[in-house]
Amino acid sequence: MLRSVSGDAMNPRAFLVAPLAALPVRFRILGLLFVLSFVNYLLRNNLSVAQPTLSHEYSLSATQFGFIYLAFNVAYTLFQIPSGVLSDRYGPRLLLAGAAIAWGVLTALTGILPGLFPAITGTLVALIAIRALMGVANAPMFPVAAGAFARWFPVGQWALPNSVLSSGLTLGQAAVGPVVAFLIVTFSWQASFLLLAPIGVLAGLWWWSYGRDDPREHRAVSAAERELIATGRAPAAPAEPGAWRVVLRNRNVLLLAASYFSMNYTFYIFSNWLYTYLVEERGFGLLAAGFLYALPFVVGAVLAAAGGAVCDFLCRRVGLLWGCRLPAIVGLLMAAWLLLAGAAAPNAYVAVALLSLCFGFTQFTEGAFWQGTTAAAGPHTATATGVLNTGGNLVGFLAPLVGFIVDSFGWWAAFVTGSAFALAAVVLWLVVRFDPIPVREPA
């Protein structure tokens, strides 16, 4: 006898939702934070692709754009630790929902405000102000997400989710080039901001509707998953007032933040200046540069996830210290060499390939940095990773310096400084020491 097909089986929604229902809730939370990370970078760095157009339209120099980037970097850096403190105390749900909605609103304002000030000075001030506010709104993303992973994933299995988050940001950065360049060429630079703005609002509402601060608060978490997450960790306790002082006295957290500072110098060369480098130094057209701009970030997404998986594997085999240290050092040494090789390559396409691998190896280290900081910080993960990301983004204060080096000495000199900073990050990893924490094999 032929069996009739049930209505549920023929329901497209049921067909799509069924695989998600079988996925542990912690991985659904990871998937949602991956989406937020993607949206964060799509809306955060679209100005770097619009830079050549705005420079031409408003006669803004690379040095002036350095100060525009500096406004974002200062605000973003100053609000890292406060974001972590608030997350440790109040949880990630409210902070990330409000932040994502703000990304959308501020992206729309970026497309509107400069046109209201025809004079160069007015445009410059408007862009500096809006980028400073965008820095405040972006600050919670990564320390708050790291705090969420510390709550939602078992002990010693934090590198992979943090590196998947890095894959989200690099894919968002990859999308910036082709998407924003296409919108600028097809419509205008203003339209590129206005059309992308609603994505931030929708992402924030989605996180608010499904995300929770703790596995115990989520109805879909099974008892077995709740027990797995809780194994090996101290009982949850309210965040201590003044925990940030404890974290700032933690030698290992400070060393990791200093190393992250050095690594992120190279990261900022890519996120802020790569598109302009491809247009001005390598001679690509706006649309071609937009697509080639995406390549390093696609490679970065792949190597970020690979680095997190390698870090978790090594931590189970050789312990947390060397399990974090080895992938970090290998990735940084490769990045230092590939940055110089890419800058020196005579062929533009070979240069793009080498620079793509360079950026990929910077991302290979991400899981090690965030896992190491989580291991060193104990219960104050969000605050400690706020310190880590403060260190990583203090280097953004050097944006005017990079612009000055490019204007005065050329792109080769700027890339040499990036390689030197990557080597300094290696040295700092060699003096990090944190106490071992038992890491269980995954069930």
SS (H, E, C) 299-354: HHHHHHHHHHHHHHHHHHHHCHHHHHHHHHHHHHHHHHHHHHHHHHCCCHHHHHHH
The tens digit of pLDDT for each residue in 27-77 reads: 899 999 999 999 998 898 888 888 888 888 887 777 788 788 888 888 988
- Phi (first) and psi of residue 152, to 5 degrees: -100, -15
Domains of the chain: 24-229+247-430 (1.20.1250.20)
What local confidence, expressed as pLDDT, does residue 178 receive?
83
Which of 436, 438, 428, 440 minimizes the C-alpha distance to 328?
A: 428
Residue 117 or residue 157, greater confidence: 157
- Taking 70 as the threshold, does the pLDDT of residue 241 lie above it? no
What local confidence, expressed as pLDDT, does residue 20 receive?
56
In angstroms, the CA 133 to CA 396 distance is 16
Sequence-ordered list of residues with C-beta below 8 angstroms from that of 349, at least 6 positions apart, any chain: none
Residue 104 or residue 155, greater confidence: 104
pTM assigned to the model: 0.73
Q: Are 312 and 160 in contact (CB under 8 A)?
A: yes
Which of 68, 215, 203, 80 minimizes the C-alpha distance to 141?
A: 80
- Phi (first) and psi of residue 121, to 5 degrees: -60, -45
What local confidence, expressed as pLDDT, does residue 8 receive?
45
- Taking 90 as the threshold, does the pLDDT of residue 146 lie above it? no
Average pLDDT over residues 404-420: 85
Q: Which residue has the tokens 């809006």?
A: 130
What local confidence, expressed as pLDDT, does residue 204 receive?
93
- Taking 50 as the threshold, does the pLDDT of residue 440 lie above it? no
- Taking 70 as the threshold, does the pLDDT of residue 255 lie above it? yes
- Within 10 angstroms of residue 231's Cβ, the number of other Cβ atoms is 11
Q: What is the mean pLDDT of the chain?
A: 82
Q: Which of 20-34, 233-247, 320-334, 424-438 has the lowest mean pLDDT?
A: 233-247
What local confidence, expressed as pLDDT, does residue 335 receive?
93
What local confidence, expressed as pLDDT, does residue 240 receive?
58
Q: How confident is the model at residue 117 (pLDDT cuts 50, 70, 90)?
A: low
What local confidence, expressed as pLDDT, does residue 403 receive?
77
Query: Residue 61: exposed, middle, or buried by beta-carbon count in 10 A (0-12, 13-18, 19+)?
Result: exposed
The tens digit of pLDDT for each residue in 302-351 reads: 898 899 889 988 988 888 888 899 999 999 999 999 999 988 888 888 98
What local confidence, expressed as pLDDT, does residue 230 receive?
77
137: Cα separation from own chain's centroid: 14
- Taking 90 as the threshold, does the pLDDT of residue 361 lie above it? yes
- Taking 90 as the threshold, does the pLDDT of residue 383 lie above it? no
Q: Which two tokens stand for residue 244?
A: 């940030």
